[in-house]
Amino acid sequence: MVFLNQFFFGYFPYIAMTIFLLGSAMRYDRDQYTWKADSSQLLRKKGMLVGSNLFHIGIILLFFGHFVGLLTPEWVYHPFMSAGTKQIMAMTAGGIFGTMCLIGMLILLNRRLFDKRISRTSKFSDTFVLLYLFVQLLLGLITIPYSAQHLDGSSMIALANWAQHIVTFRTGAADFIIAEAWVFKLHLVLGMSLFVIFPFTRLVHIWSVPVQYLTRSNYQIVRRRG
């Protein structure tokens, strides 16, 4: 048990990030034509706008919420709020953004699985990624009632200490969460495993977010004729 804890929360994060970075670089170098989102909107627009927007907005907010929540040192927020208050804020925001993402996910899954035109043209990896994210999202929502059992912020501090030790390459990271509930650990393992499968799926299109469109000045607006 101690060995598994050390492997998954001490070594596996670095294995996952290595595969993530090297795999993405090799995918871009060798298979640039597969570097795309493969949107199903051209096949059928019904439900795509609502589902895609809810899913993407929700998951982006969840990502940055996790990023800030886990990597913000305790001394930064301690003068303004307690760990318990921060945990309640995280639970509330996670519940709202997670529900938003879940609704969007269910709409997209319904299209992908039960729309014959879309399902017949979908790759196995496309469906697998959606189902994988669906399970991970459910696990994230399940952590909320577990967190509510101890509102002193102790679990949040333990998870944050783990993440901060990992990103700063300090030893002893796995020791912080050895006593945490199974749902937190499984959520972390699936989250890290997502980086492992990332280079081999459509998720690589995340690297190509068109940020330049926000600042681009030379563009032409084309309107359809009425």
- Where is the binding site for heme b, in residues? 56, 66, 187, 205
CA atoms of 147 and 45, how far apart (whole Å): 39
How many other C-beta atoms are found inside a 10 Å radius of the C-beta of residue 67? 11
Cα dihedral across residues 101, 104, 107, 111: positive or negative: negative
- Give phi and psi for 222, each to the nearest 5: -115, 125
Q: Which residue matches tokens 């199974």?
A: 182
At 46, list the tokens: 């019904």
Using only C-alpha atoms, what is the Rg of the chain?
A: 20
Task: Name the residue among 158, 135, 132, 155 with its Cα closest to residue 144.
Answer: 155
Task: Name the residue among 109, 102, 131 with its Cα closest to residue 47.
Answer: 109
Classify 55 as helix, strand or coil.
helix
Binding-site entries: 56, 66, 187, 205
